[in-house]
Amino acid sequence: DLRQKQIDAVVKMLNLNSP
């Protein structure tokens, strides 16, 4: 699911975690 993968990446970014 591409949308979910993009959400996960954005959340990671907002939590200041590395990609």
Partner 1 sequence: FKVLVLDPFTRDIIAPLLKVNELRKYGITLHLMLGADRQPISDVPAIYFVAQTEQNVKRIALDVSVPLYDTFHLNFSSPLPRPSLEELASECVKTDSISRVNKVYDQYLGFVSLEKGLFSLAQPRSYVKLNDPAAKDTDVEQAVAGMVEGIFSVLVSLGVVPIIRCPKGGAAEMVASELEKRLRDHLVTRNNLFTEASQAGGSFQRPLLCLFDRNFELAVAVQHGWTYQPLVHEMIGLNLNRVTV
Size of the site for partner 1 (CB under 8 A): 16
Minimum Å gap between C-beta 17 and partner 1 is 10
Shortest spacing between CB 11 and partner 1, in angstroms: 6
Token reading at 9? 């990446």
**Pattern 1-19, binding to partner 1, x per CB under 8 A?**
xxxxxxx-xxx-xxxx-xx
Question: SS3 letters for 1-19?
Answer: CHHHHHHHHHHHHHCCCCC
List residues binding partner 1 (CB under 8 A): 1-7, 9-11, 13-16, 18-19
